[in-house]
Structure 1
Amino acid sequence: MKAPALLLTAVVALAIAVPGMARSRNVTDPGLPRSVPTEGGAVSVSWTDPAAFSELKYSGNRWEAERGTWVTDLATYLRDEAGQRLARGQTLDITITDIERAGRYEPVVRTGMDHIRIVKDIYPPRMKLNFVVKGPDGQVIAEGERKLVDHGFLTGSNLNSSDALRYEKRMVDDWLRREFKANAALTSTP
């Protein structure tokens, strides 16, 4: 293959690949939605501006902390798990107002290590949310603000899981179990 043809092939391949690689996604992109689709209409999950979340304000490396789709991933998980706990006809609206993931990016002595998230028991996962549960008739059954925190996140199961959000998901599971158990109206089926 001659050099001009090889160069043309490389340019075309690069032009095809670059749009997908041009910019990595981050949770503060203004063009991203601030909610997940309801999928069946029983549970809606939305969130406030992630730029104001504690995860970004106190992370030690804001640029690393805002990378990825972790807000959407947590909201999707919350929607799916909460949907399994509702009685027939009930709806649940959740607004996440703050997230602080387990661990933190610490300043380090060695250069090039500031992109590594350090997980210690002094950096537990936290989440603040508001919720409203409505019955089949549209009447409010339960509502409130919750401040979730899991101080024992390093103990128990799932410690060997490779899921980057395993601690936060377990905290969500614990909240759902407590919240829906405490209110018998939420878990009863007609």
Structure 2
Amino acid sequence: MHSRIDQPPRTLARGSAMVMATLAVLWWLSGAIALGGTVGVAVAVAGPVLGAVFFRLAARRLPGHGEQELYASAAGRFRTTNLVQAGAIAAVIALGNVTGERGWIPGLIAVVVGLHFLPLAGPFARPEYRWVGGLMAALGAAGCGLAVAGAPVSRVLAVVGLGSAAVLWASVVWLLVTADGPPAR
């Protein structure tokens, strides 16, 4: 029997990286599709391949000590944060469509998604969520700046989608480099 002191620290490194790798693919595809043409198709194909590589690396190399317990203790905050995020995204889409200002939608969604990471950093013991959230919100603000400057929706979506994917995959690399050892078996 292990005492609490003998147990490895609880971490969501594996689960976090696997989720980030997967969600990055969605952002990547939205940005790649906006590129259009042969380039867009080639870029789109690369996204799921990169996502699968990062997912596999996370699953094989990152520790998952106490993930279920840590998730259970943070589940309330997770649910609330994601409900607020979903409502805010729906509002952004509705307002963008009602006002005809669709160019703002990708940037504002990235701001919402970025901000949703901030209240999750503490409960999930993932301090990197702060820089992930900050970078995604900043990228979203840059997308809004492109919309204000009159950039077409496709350009805003390409910048925000591909950039957000890059931020999420960077967080996976961060976890791969900084995590504390191999997964518990």
Give the TM-score normalised by structure 1.
0.31
The answer to which structure has the higher strand fraction is: 1
Give the TM-score normalised by structure 2.
0.31
Largest Rg, 1 or 2: 1
- Greater RCO, 1 or 2 (C-alpha within 8 Å, sep 6+): 2
